[in-house]
Amino acid sequence: MHKIVGVFILVWFSLYVNAQDSLAVASPKDSVKTHSWKRACLFSAVVPGSGQIYNHIAMPKGKKKAYWKVPLIYAGLGATTYFVVKNNMLKNDYRAEYESRKVGNAPGNFLEYDDQSLLSLYAQHRNRRDFAILGMGLVYILNIVDAGVEAHFVNFDISEDLSLSIHPTTYFPNAYGVSFQFKFR
């Protein structure tokens, strides 16, 4: 039931984003095709890294550079998933051993640890698992944010007509400063 509701929400959101994109009317004078940051965020939310690929495809020929982030995204998600699984298994092993000893069974795999050490190890690996889950969420959120920010810069142009000059200046004999000069030609 939860999967059906999730798929329904995902399809509805996708249709909503497409409807919003189709409502944007470009005048005949606009020669630059608009690139949707919403669509890039949606793609990255559904399949991590696909928003970066979407941005890479839309970039002009000389500026294509967004695809290299995809392996980093999957490396981050893979590493944090590994730590979640590893620490959760160790946490469960320590808990099972502690509960087995409390029932009265002989110590199993962890003979070198007393009951208090097992509780301490259980808490340590539970905390590590929780931090790994937090790290996984951060990698996922950064993936979506990066796709949205990169989508804003797909058609960003810095021409030769813009310049910034920074010069040291003196205002008084003992007063020094920095002057900024912007030129818009």
pLDDT digits (tens, 9 = 90+) for 48-83: 999 999 988 888 776 777 788 999 999 999 999 999
- 104 contacts: CB under 8 Å, gap ≥ 6: none
**Chain length of the chain:** 185
Q: Quick check: helix, strand or coil at residue 148?
A: helix
Strands 162-172 and 175-184, bridge-based pairing: antiparallel
Longest dimension (CA), the chain: 86
Q: Which residues of the chain have pLDDT under 70?
A: 1-33, 62, 157-162, 184-185
- 147 contacts: CB under 8 Å, gap ≥ 6: 37, 40, 41, 43, 44, 51, 52, 54, 55
- Amino acid identity for residue 2 in this structure: H
pLDDT of residue 26: 47
Question: How far apart (Å, rounded) are the C-alpha atoms in residues 151 and 178?
Answer: 34
pLDDT of residue 168: 84
Whole-structure pTM value = 0.67
First to last CA, the chain: 60
